[in-house]
Every structure is written in structure tokens, then in C-alpha cells.
A and B are shown apart, each in its own frame.
Chain A
Amino acid sequence: MSVTSLWVVVEPANGTLTTTSLELLSHARTLASNVSAITWGNGASFAAQAGEYGATTLYDVGALDGSLPGVPVASAIATLVQSVGAPDAILIPTSYDGRDIAGRLSARLDRPVLTNVTGLLDEGGLVTEHPVFGGTQTVKARFTGEGPGLIVVRAKSFAGESAGGAPATVVSAPVGDTAGTGSARIANSHVEERTGPKLEDAAVVVSGGRGLGEAEKYAMIEETARLLNGAPGASRAIVDAGWVPYSYQVGQTGKTVKPTVYIACGISGATQHMVGMKGSKNIVAINKDADAPIFQIADFGIVGDVHKVLPALIEALKNRA
């Protein structure tokens, strides 16, 4: 059974579709002749972008009125499956709301979900690829039952490339009955201000870990990142410890980054972290433990104390500025 029809959940953020959404659309159109997208909010405003990246139809769930997207969007998709028939699979970005949509939809449709997908092939049917054991091995999997299978894909798994397509036809996709499940409401949104390039887009990422010793020392990471026109990142350990916000986290549960150079400072290299950064073009590691796993994947390693190496690096970079 070859793949003919795919739906892609495309997430709006700040007036555009997210990068991961566009990556999924780009890849979907290489696999299936018929690609539709599903979005919410001011759906019609994304018709041109969705079409450009490969969708012919854009289903618009409409305004969510303060609801978290998971319940209403899953309900609308389940209703669509009833009314227009199921695609071969539904692709969903790995994100806070994407995972909510996938979970809700899976239970509603009684269909399985495959998550942490980093590759998607057509081998006479869809085959998913998943990194396991810290990215040292790749699992290939497939659905064996009736579709649509739900596939939750990690950021940066595919290149996002415009196909120059015409604007997608916008079709309203109303929310069905959600009973009591949709009663969680967003009362207020807080944006944590960050300056400089976005972590997931930066050409240089400088990340700090437990080796920094204390929260105040994270300032060295920010300073180094600023001097290299890069973005500061963090390991899960120091995010959990409350030193920096969750949005700084690189790794399995955080962001996936693939910068030109990733500089890991005082990060030992837990598998949870490596999954999020091992696709970097170059990796530099500074760690006082010569046996730290991070050195196994680093192109350039300095066995040394971050409290000595970083201040010297900051000084050297300042002198060049």
C-alpha cells in the first residue's frame, strides 16, 4: 500500500506557521500526492504559506477563544475524519500543543501514535525512524492496523523548502462535541524576553550544565553567546534546578539544535542532552572530566575547568571585537 494522502497539523505562532510545521509540509509533499494542512486561529491568513510549502487544502479550526489547542483541534480533526475520510497518516509537530493534539486524537480515534520520529519513508507504506539509546541506534517502525496512524515528528528532521505552490483552499473544520474535556482556559500569557538569535535558529549555541557549579555562573554562558552572536542554551539538569527557564533546554525534552557550532560548557553529555545537539555541524566541549561522554562526540575538546577557560575565552573574544 503506497502513500497517497497525508494531513499535517501546522501550528501558528506570532502570525506565521512554525518552522517545524513547514518542515513537515515540505517532507509530506515528497511522500504523498495529496497533502492537506490543519490549523487554527486566523486560518485564512496562512493559506498562502501552507500552499507554498505543499498543502492543497487548509482546514481551519478557527478561533479557540482561550482554550488550549489540544482538545478543540483533536475534536475538529476527528470530525473531519468522519466527514471526508481518513488520510494514510496525520503528521504532527513535536511541541507542547502538538503532543496534546496527538494524545487527544489518538484516544478519540482509537488509533496508535508514534512519537519522537526523526525520519519518515515510503517503503510500500509509511516507515518511521526513531533515535533510541541516546541516538546511538535507530528504530524503524510501522503501523499494522487501520489508519490513520498518528506520527509526531521532532523539529529539524526535514528541510523546510518552499515548493512555490498556489495558496491552499481554506475549508472550515468546526470543533465537535468536547463535553467536559475542553474546559481548561488560558487566563494570561507570559513571554520571557530573550535578546539575540533564537536558540533553534542560531548559528552558534553556547550551552551550560551542572559543571558551572551555581546559577550565577550562567552569566558567563550568556556573555560568551552574545560575543559570538549566538544563543545561550542549557542542559536539563540546570533547567530542573531552576537556574534558567525551560525554553533554554536543549535535549530530548527540550529543543533540537543544529548550529554551525555547539559549545558545551560543563555538560557531561547525558543521552537526554546529546539527542538534542548531536546533529550540530561542529561540537566544542569544555569539561574537567576527561572521560565525560560529551568528548566522544566533540570535534574539539578542552579538558579543563569552565571557570578558568570561559573567562579567558570571553576576554579573548572581547579583544577581537
Chain B
Amino acid sequence: MNVVVCVKQIPDPAAPQSFDASHNLDRSGKLILDEADTYGVEMALQLVDKAGSGEVTVVSMGSASDVAGLRNALAMGAAKAVIVSDDSLRGTDSLGTAKVLAAVISRDMPDLILCATESSDGYTGTTPVQLAELLGLPSVTFAKSVVVEGGSLKVDRQTEAGYDEVTSPLPALVTVTAGVVEPRYASFKGIMAAKNKPVEVLSVADLGLEGAIGQAGARQEITEVVAAESRQAGEKYVDEGDGAEKIVAFLESIKVL
């Protein structure tokens, strides 16, 4: 069983974020593997392990000047990585990203594609389903459990009220929540092995997608960035055994009690 996991290298979410002059997220600093993607990588490794054969490939789009995030996925156990990196991809929207990923993945269709529900930097959350549509595959989003049995897929999918048991034939695309598995830490052996695993870097021309992708292909623009209405910090007290009492008084003052 071969599994592709779509991953993204993002600016460290703990660092302050900003836009560059053309209103794209500033990605000039250090990039890391989006933590949201580690769940898909782990899930893929477990499914391939259980199947007894096959491998995990991570596929990404973005700057290849720093591939530490991809090496991280390889250190966890993925066999190889592919990244599409091209200056013309600046300003690509979610549909453009899906077109690029589809072009890579359709070269060698896997049994299963895993994605996070959304990235932790842009959080558009539509790329996976756009990708499934472009590849002509069924999709199940917001999985909290993924099982492959007898060539088909059983997914517990989050709903507003609880969860649905969903079945689907393979190949298919699944987006996983952070609750699906506990990602492993890369072992020292894994980190060393990752240094020699292949990272294939592709250009837009390699995929025959010239002109279709990028800022122009996004057909949307940011017109303005304004400061949002901000809340002011109110009263703050250090609890000296009277914290609960003070909260009760506050709730009374706003007529909740």
C-alpha cells in the first residue's frame, strides 16, 4: 500500500507573522514542518506498516531553499519527498496549490492520500478537497480514525453532533485531525537515515503547468489590510483566596447572576 502525505513547510507559528509588500505571508524566515501534517505522516506510516508493504511519500509545494521540514517527515519514516519549488508560484491560491499537487501525485497514483484538515499558516482548508476533485477521487474530511480493510477505507468523520462512520473505496483522499494518532518523535537512527533519502525538487515547467498557477492564476487580491477593532484588557487581580468571590461579583455586575 502506497500512501502520499501532502505537507507544508510553514514559518514557525510561535514567531510573529506579517505580510510582505505584495500582501503575501512573509516566509523569508526559517521554515518548519507544519505540526498539523505530522498526524498524517504518522497515520500513513502506521497504515503502510499494517499493510506489510508499500511506502510513504511526502509531497509539498513551496520554497526548497530550506527542506528541514521535509527531512523531519523523512526522519519519522517516510521513504521519499517531492517538492515543487518555483518563483512563479508566489501568490498561488488554494486551487492553484491543488493543481500543482495533483500534477505531482497523478504521475504515480497512490492507494491513499492524506492531508491535514488545514495548514496552520493560511488555514484555507479547501486544498485537500480541491485536490481530490482534480484527481477524480472520493474524499473524507475531518477523520478522527482511519482503518484500511480489504482494500477499502473506514473513517470516523467528525460532525457537528458527534461523528459518522464513513466507508469509501480506494484510492481516496482523507484529511486527518490532530486526534487521529500520536505522532512519533524521529529517532536518532531515523534522522541519520533521512539525510540520504531522496528529495526531488520540481519546477512548474517540469509539470507542464506554466502560466496556469501563481498570483495571476489566483484571480483574487488583497485590497487592504487594516487593524481590527481591539479589545482592551480590563481589571486583573492576583488570587489571594478571594478569586472566586471576585468572579461572582463580576458576574453579578454584568447580570449573569
Residue pair B243, A286 in contact (C-beta under 8 Å): yes
List A residues at the B interface (Cβ < 8 Å): 13, 68, 70-71, 74, 95-96, 99-100, 102-104, 106-108, 110-116, 127, 131-133, 135-146, 149, 152, 179-192, 203-204, 228, 236, 239-240, 242, 245-247, 252-253, 260-261, 263, 272, 278, 281-284, 286, 290, 295-305, 308-310, 312-313, 315-317, 320
Interface string of B178-199 (1 = CB under 8 A from A): 1100000000000000000000
Residue pair A114, B140 in contact (C-beta under 8 Å): no
Q: Given the complex of chains A and B, what is the CA–CA distance between A236 and B39 in angstroms?
A: 15
With both beta carbons as reference points, the residue of chain B lying nearest to A108 in the complex is identified as B133
Given A145-B219, A184-B167, A290–B126 Cβ distance below 8 Å?
Answer: no
Residue pair B138, A187 in contact (C-beta under 8 Å): no
Residue pair A313, B247 in contact (C-beta under 8 Å): yes
Please indicate the chain A residues that have their CB under 8 angstroms from the CB of B17 in the complex.
Answer: 132-133
Residue pair A317, B166 in contact (C-beta under 8 Å): no
- Contact of B133 (CB < 8 Å), options: A181, A203, A278: A181
26 contacts between A and B (CB under 8 A): A103-B132, A107-B98, A107-B129, A107-B133, A108-B133, A110-B95, A112-B220, A113-B130, A115-B123, A135-B228, A139-B225, A140-B226, A141-B222, A144-B220, A184-B166, A187-B166, A187-B167, A189-B161, A189-B162, A191-B161, A240-B178, A298-B236, A300-B246, A308-B239, A308-B243, A317-B248
B8 to chain A, nearest CB (A): 15
Please indicate the chain B residues that have their CB under 8 angstroms from the CB of A297 in the complex.
Answer: 231, 233
- Contact of A184 (CB < 8 Å), options: B140, B158, B257: B140
Instruction: Report if B20 contacts A (CB, 8 A).
Output: no
Q: Given the complex of chains A and B, what is the CA–CA distance between A300 and B247 in angstroms?
A: 8
Residue pair B126, A301 in contact (C-beta under 8 Å): no
List B residues at the A interface (Cβ < 8 Å): 17-18, 23, 93-95, 98, 117-118, 120, 123-134, 136-142, 144, 157-169, 172, 177-179, 218-228, 230-231, 233-239, 241, 243-248, 250-251, 254, 256-257
Residue pair B126, A140 in contact (C-beta under 8 Å): no
Given A113-B126, A246-B177, A253-B118, A143–B220 Cβ distance below 8 Å?
Answer: yes
- Contact of A182 (CB < 8 Å), options: B138, B161, B166: B138
- Contact of A260 (CB < 8 Å), options: B18, B132, B137, B256: B256
Q: Given the complex of chains A and B, what is the CA–CA distance between A106 and B96 in angstroms?
A: 11
Please indicate the chain B residues that have their CB under 8 angstroms from the CB of A116 in the complex.
Answer: 123-124
Residue pair A188, B234 in contact (C-beta under 8 Å): no
Q: Which of B132, B160, B162, B238 has the most CB of A within 10 A?
A: B160
- Contact of A183 (CB < 8 Å), options: B163, B168, B248: B168
Q: 8 closest Cβ contacts across the A-B interface?
A: A304-B239, A103-B129, A145-B219, A312-B244, A107-B133, A299-B234, A301-B236, A184-B168
Given A106-B130, A138-B228, A320-B257, A300–B239 Cβ distance below 8 Å?
Answer: no
B154 to chain A, nearest CB (A): 8
With both beta carbons as reference points, the residue of chain B lying nearest to A102 in the complex is identified as B126
Given A182-B138, A295-B233, A104–B129 Cβ distance below 8 Å?
Answer: yes
Given A181-B138, A190-B163, A138–B239 Cβ distance below 8 Å?
Answer: no
Residue pair A95, B254 in contact (C-beta under 8 Å): no
With both beta carbons as reference points, the residue of chain A lying nearest to B23 in the complex is identified as A139
Q: Given the complex of chains A and B, what is the CA–CA distance between A151 and B254 in angstroms?
A: 36
Please indicate the chain B residues that have their CB under 8 angstroms from the CB of A100 in the complex.
Answer: 129, 139, 141
Q: Which of A107, A114, A146 has the most CB of B within 10 A?
A: A107
Please indicate the chain B residues that have their CB under 8 angstroms from the CB of A240 in the complex.
Answer: 177-179
Residue pair A190, B165 in contact (C-beta under 8 Å): yes
With both beta carbons as reference points, the residue of chain B lying nearest to A246 in the complex is identified as B158
- Contact of B138 (CB < 8 Å), options: A183, A189, A316: A183
Residue pair B179, A246 in contact (C-beta under 8 Å): yes
- Contact of A99 (CB < 8 Å), options: B126, B239, B257: B126
- Contact of A181 (CB < 8 Å), options: B132, B142, B163, B218: B132
B162 to chain A, nearest CB (A): 4
18 extra A-B contacts, CB within 8 A, seeds A107-B95, A298-B236, A309-B239? A13-B160, A96-B141, A106-B94, A107-B134, A133-B17, A136-B228, A138-B228, A139-B224, A149-B220, A189-B165, A236-B178, A240-B179, A246-B144, A253-B118, A295-B233, A296-B231, A302-B237, A316-B245
